[in-house]
Amino acid sequence: MQVLVVGSGGREHALAWKLKQSPKVDAVFVAPGNPGTAAIATNVAIKSDDIEGLARFAAEHSIDLTVVGPEVPLTMGIVDLFQSKGLKCWGPSKAAARLEGSKIDMKEFLRRHNIPTARFHAFTKSADAIAHIREIDGPCVVKTDGLAAGKGVTVANTAEQAVEAVIRVMEKHEFGKEAGARVVVEELLRGEEISVFAFCDGHNALMLDLVQDHKQVFDGDEGPNTGGMGAFSPVPGMVNERTMDEIVRRILVPTMSGLVHEGRPYVGLLYMGLMLTDAGPKVIEYNVRFGDPECQALMPRLTSDLAEIILASLAGTLDQFDLAWDPRTAVCVTLASGGYPGDFKSGLAIDGLSQAEGRGATVFHAGTKDKDGELLTAGGRVLSVVGLGVDLDQARDVAYAGCDAISYHGKHCRRDIGKRKEARKKV
C-alpha cells in the first residue's frame, strides 16, 4: 500500500514515522514534508492547502490512502474532493470539520445537543464584545472564531486583557480578517485541562490513551497561548472511572450521535479538549485531527498498526478493534524559537540531533529546513523531543537530556512538561 501524509510539522513526521512501521505500507510520501520526513519517506513539493494538487498527485501515483495532518485542508473539503474522485482520504468531511473551523458553530452545536461547555456569547462587532466584557468586569476567555493555528485564544484575568484581545482580533486582524470577523467571549473554567482523542468511523469510536498538553509559552502556565509547548501520556490519577464514564456518556456519545443526526457523521480522528471542573468535564474545544504535540507523545506508545486502524475507520469496522499501548510514559518537549509565539528569527543552524537520539530521545521535526546540507530553523516550533520511561520522571529525564544535546541560537523550551502543577505553585 502507498500512503500519502499531508502536512509539514512534527505531527506529520510522527504520523509518517508510525505508518512506515506497518507491514501493510510499502511506501510513504509526505506533502510538503520537512527534513525529518525526508529521512524516512519521500517528500512531495505540494502545499497542504493545495487540495486539487494533492488529489492529482494521489491519482497519478496510485496512492492507496491519504492521511491528512493539519486542519486547514480538512476545513477546505479535501476529504469530499478525494471521495468525488474515488480516492481514499482519512479525515472528516468539510461539514463535520466545521467543529474546528468555527468556534461559534462549535459552541452552537454543543448547545443544541446539551453537551457541557462554558457559558458563552458570540459577537460580530468589537464594540458589542467590549461592552459585554466591561459588564462582566472579571476573568473571561476570548476566542477567535476562525482558524488561528492554536493561538487564537486569550485567557484574560482582567477586563482590560480581554478588551485588548478583542482589539487585536477584530480591529488589528492579528489572525486575518476572516478568522477575526467574529469572536466568542465565554466564562473562564477552572480545573485541569485534558486532551481526549478518539478514532471514529461515523458510528463507532475507539478512544486513545489520555494526554495532557501545555499551551502557554512559559513554565507554570505563564505567558501567551501557543500551538503547544509539550505533552505527556498517559496521565495516571487525573481521571477516575466515574469521570471517564461521564466523558463517554455526556460528551463523546452525544457528539457522535449529534453529528449523525445533523447528516454529517464523523470519520477520522476527533480531539476533545476538556476542562475537568468541579461540576464535571466540560468541552473547551474540538479539533478535527491529531493535536500537535500530543500526536508526538502518542505515536511512540501506540503498538497497534496505525494503517490498519485507519482502514478500519474508513470501512466502519472500528468496533472490531482494540488499541494496544506500550505501558511506558512518553514526554514530548517542544523546542521553540526565541520570541515564539511572537516575532522570532529563522534560518539559524541546528546542531546535536544525533547526540539527542544517542541519549535515547526520539526527535520529530516541526519547523526546520535543509539548506545545502545544513539543518536550519524555519518556524516557531522547531523540534519535538520525545522521551520514554517507566514513569513520568524517567521519561522527562530522557526528553530533557535530548533537549539539552540540541543547540541553536535562541532555543527555548518549557522545563516543566509533566510537572505543571508544581511549577504553578512556584509561580
- Tally of domains within the chain: 4
228 and 168 part of one domain: no
Length of the chain: 427
Position 97 in a domain? no
Q: What is the pLDDT of residues 305-355, one digit of tens each?
A: 999 999 999 999 999 999 999 999 999 999 999 999 999 999 999 999 999
Q: Which residues pair with 382 in a beta bridge?
A: none
Domain that holds residue 210: 192-320
Using only C-alpha atoms, the chain has a radius of gyration, in whole angstroms, of: 21
Position 98 in a domain? no
The alpha carbon of 47 is separated from its chain's Cα centroid by a whole number of angstroms, namely: 19
pLDDT along the chain (427 residues), means of 10: 98 98 98 98 98 98 98 97 98 96 92 95 91 90 81 87 91 83 90 95 97 94 91 93 96 98 98 95 95 97 98 97 97 97 96 98 98 96 98 97 98 94 60
pLDDT (0 to 100) of residue 424: 57
278 and 211 part of one domain: yes
H-only helix segments in 29-158: 35-38, 51-60, 71-76, 78-84, 98-101, 103-112, 126-136
207 and 182 part of one domain: no
| Final residue in a domain of this structure, among 292, 320, 348 | 320
Coil/strand/helix, residue 81: helix
236 and 167 part of one domain: no
Coil/strand/helix, residue 149: coil
300 and 382 part of one domain: no
The grid cell for 102 is 468555527
The grid cell for 91 is 479525515
What CATH number is associated with residue 8? 3.40.50.20
pTM: predicted TM-score of the whole model, two decimal places:
0.92
pLDDT (0 to 100) of residue 237: 86
Coil/strand/helix, residue 17: helix
AA identity, residue 159: A
Coil/strand/helix, residue 53: helix
What CATH number is associated with residue 342? 3.90.600.10
* Spatial distance between the Cα atoms of 219 and 235, rounded to a whole number of angstroms: 19
pLDDT (0 to 100) of residue 387: 98
pLDDT (0 to 100) of residue 177: 81
Query: Integer distance in angstroms from the first to the last C-alpha of the chain?
Result: 51
298 and 228 part of one domain: yes
What CATH number is associated with residue 216? 3.30.470.20
